Amino acid sequence: MLSIVIPVRDRSLLLDKVLRSLSRQTLATEHFEVIVVDDGSTEDLSDAIRGIDVPFSLEVLRLPTNVGRAAARNAGARRARGDVLVFLDADSLAHPELLARHAEGHRRDPDRRDVVVGTRFEINLAELDTWERSGRISATSLTLVEADLRAVYLAEHGPAIWEGCGWTLAYTHNVSLRRAVFFEAGGFDEALRGWGLEDQELFYRVAKVLGPAGRFCYEPSAICYHLPHLRDPIAEWRERVDNIQIAKRTHLDGEFELFCAMPLLAFLRARSYYASLHAYLALGSFAHGGRPWVTSCLSSVARCLYQGRAGFPDPERMPAGLMTLDPSQPRSETNLHLLGLGTPFEDKDFDLVVSHDVWRFLKWRELLRFLDEAERIAHRLILIRSKSARATDVPGGLTMAMDTAYLARELSLRHAQVLSMQDDEVQAIEIVFAPSASA
């Protein structure tokens, strides 16, 4: 049995159309139920619901206050009787075959614990008029403009994209999974109250729960249509940024950090490169140089973040406030497996950030992100290049910058205090960040 969970706040006109589309499903009504979660609406949704003679089991769960879409979906999932949860949005108009395709996706191999990801078209008023008249939308009226962007990602990366990155493409406007898996993963994170990321954050955890026993399956015939409605993209983006700040403190993991630091298509293109970099750094075999110089830098401050091999500087001279980013050592409260693109630290948490050679592997866009993050969390930054490390020493596929002069000149255009230093073993750039306007 399928349990369809739909959170809604106000938007009675949209809800009316979504419920009517679910009344036209080819799947027998005894095989599904619909749970509408009213997330503290300010308008009365009862007319929209009473005005439809639904042939299926319908429950309306009214929450007294607005708790956010993540908590609302959790509330609906707790009321579900089905063994498979289907999440739709209140603006997801269902194709007549939608639920049948989700049901089939979970029947193909009952022993597997798959996530079935449907597709969504962006429709216009013309297609909505057609649906109102006939109950269907012709696929021939839809073009690449209206097509699901995930089809573009699939065309570029092939079906393998669903094996490693399926969690990034599972959106709750049209997705299903077994109820047991949902609760094993912990459900939605209710701290993520606003728009955006709450679904990908959930499925990031679901992917870890599934392991090799499950997969993300893209089902292009499980179609819904995004109803046109007024939106505030600036407000939505701000809410997503707020959710990122919360989620990145939960998932201290390089892949999730990278995902939050860039647009999705850029992440899909860069993921393989940075997975290779993480694997290489995890070996702990990189030939750092300048141990006395690096040790002196780190020991001169009370609070420092060091990116490099944690055991390279003299451990007996390290300050008590030292944090490290070193994948060759076990994760701990003082050692995170991050690239430094989006850290959990507070503004100006450190006196100094030192990147020992790792910065040299970052592509330009990610290096800029690293520089911005360092400026946020620290008063100073030192980028170190070991002269002994050569480009031919690293595995194929990875690239490594071999000089600091160009970068130093670029940085001097933005920062008033940029110092270049070198000795026999290292070259270094030091940036003293100007105090922020709020400081």
pLDDT at 202: 96
What are the backbone dihedrals phi and psi of residue 331, each rounded to the nearest 5 degrees, phi first?
Answer: -60, 145
Rounded CA gap, 205 and 185, in Å?
A: 6
Range of the domain at 349: 284-432
240 in the same domain as 369: no
Query: 363 Cβ partners below 8 Å, 6+ apart?
Result: 270, 273
In a domain, 263, yes or no: no
pLDDT at 67: 94
Query: 3 Cβ partners below 8 Å, 6+ apart?
Result: 32, 33, 35, 76, 77, 80, 81, 82, 84, 85, 86, 179
- ∠ CA 319-325-327 to the nearest 5 degrees? 130
362 in the same domain as 222: no
Instruction: Check if the beta carbon of residue 383 is closer than 8 Å to that of residue 352.
Output: no
Instruction: Check if the beta carbon of residue 360 is closer than 8 Å to that of residue 401.
Output: yes
In a domain, 270, yes or no: no
pLDDT under 70: residue ranges of the chain? 110-111, 139-146, 213, 437-439
Q: DSSP labels for 85-106?
A: EEEE-TTEEEPTTHHHHHHHHH
pLDDT at 233: 86
In a domain, 279, yes or no: no
Per-residue pLDDT of 375-416, as tens digits, reads: 999 999 999 999 887 777 788 889 999 888 999 999 999 999
- Domain boundary at 227, 251, 275, which? 251
For the beta sheet containing 84-88, the strands, ordered from the edge strand earlier in sequence to the opposite edge, are: 57-63, 32-39, 2-8, 84-88, 174-178, 115-122, 216-226, 92-94
130 in the same domain as 59: yes
Q: CA-based Rg of the chain, rounded to a whole angstrom?
A: 26
In a domain, 220, yes or no: yes
In a domain, 273, yes or no: no
150 in the same domain as 17: yes
Per-residue pLDDT of 37-90, as tens digits, reads: 999 888 878 777 777 788 899 999 999 998 999 999 999 999 999 999 999 999
User: How far does Cα 264 stand from its chain's mean position?
Assistant: 8
Instruction: Check if the beta carbon of residue 306 is closer than 8 Å to that of residue 356.
Output: yes
Rounded CA gap, 218 and 426, in Å?
A: 50
315 in the same domain as 204: no
Nearest alpha-carbon partner for 167 in 115, 210, 117, 204? 204
Rounded CA gap, 146 and 212, in Å?
A: 34
- Domain boundary at 203, 234, 251, which? 251
80 in the same domain as 218: yes
As beta bridge partners, residue 33 has 3, 57
pLDDT at 280: 92
224 in the same domain as 159: yes
In a domain, 182, yes or no: yes
209 in the same domain as 296: no
pLDDT at 231: 84
391 in the same domain as 325: yes
| Residue 391 DSSP one-character state | G
333 in the same domain as 230: no
Rounded CA gap, 357 and 378, in Å?
A: 18
Instruction: Report how far apart, in Å, the C-alpha atoms of 248 and of each of 15, 26, 211, 255, 336 are.
Output: 33, 41, 21, 11, 12
3-class secondary structure, 383: strand
Give me the amino acid identity at 395.
P
Instruction: Check if the beta carbon of residue 75 is closer than 8 Å to that of residue 61.
Output: yes
Burial 182-193 (b: 16+ CB within 10 A, else e): beebebbbbebb
User: Which regions of 372-414 does DSSP assign to beta strands (E)?
Assistant: 378-386
CATH number, domain containing residue 324: 3.40.50.150
Rounded CA gap, 116 and 198, in Å?
A: 17
Number of domains in the chain: 2
Q: Where are the alpha helices (DSSP H) in 168-232?
A: 179-184, 198-210
In a domain, 223, yes or no: yes
Instruction: Check if the beta carbon of residue 76 is closer than 8 Å to that of residue 89.
Output: no
Query: 52 Cβ partners below 8 Å, 6+ apart?
Result: 16, 19, 20, 23
49 in the same domain as 193: yes
Rounded CA gap, 65 and 82, in Å?
A: 26
311 in the same domain as 241: no
In a domain, 308, yes or no: yes
pLDDT at 310: 78
CATH number, domain containing residue 41: 3.90.550.10
- Domain boundary at 229, 251, 273, which? 251
